[in-house]
Structure 1
């Protein structure tokens, strides 16, 4: 594996923070989209489905997320992982989210060219600053088509 050119967003670079309010209706919509009728995802004390934090990016204000500089036309979402450090967030919780670049690398594509990878970790914290969850995503920029 070869290193990404230094001009790319470097490992360790962080975006700005943004706030995510865990809303009852959004939990319900997410559960319905998953075709889940789990009662834990309903009502005033509902907890989030573990993959709910994927939606956090939807609520991030423009310009606060890290940019890995990949061509969106060649972008794949390769892997997603969640870690929780206590109970799942629930209705009414207010979380602060912040992304950082954890890793960058490249390797040869199966059809030629070079595939580039970026691993982005999003930390979710309570208003007191306690880390309660992390989302780790691997993004892949596919190799350019050979001409």
Structure 2
């Protein structure tokens, strides 16, 4: 199955270790990032990311929230985690993998998100690419704001105005 890819990265004014500490808050990421309505570790998983860690997230989407269940399928401590979205409700998904990570470029710390997905029907994958790229930007902006200010769960619309150039 051919997957469409979206990639977004942004600089953060913290060390790579500090950035990873937040990116690796897998189960309770909804406590810090306002792009989610909520999140929780499930099936006995801890809040920290690790291979096989499982979570459920609620994403606000108008009248019907999107529900997703996700499991980490690739994990490199201090670098990245990749999860498979294995179950969903209220979104036309066929397959999705997301990677969140930290890297250093030119002496600066960057956080990034890479999404590979296919929607149902398949032609929606290209049509929705801009929306999914915007979602990646929103998620990273929420992390950036938390990392640099300590403020959690700020409305993504507020952050969009504040971080226009990022």
Instruction: Verify same fold: TM over 0.5.
Output: no
- Structure having the higher Rg: 1
TM-score normalised per structure 1: 0.28
TM-score normalised per structure 2: 0.26
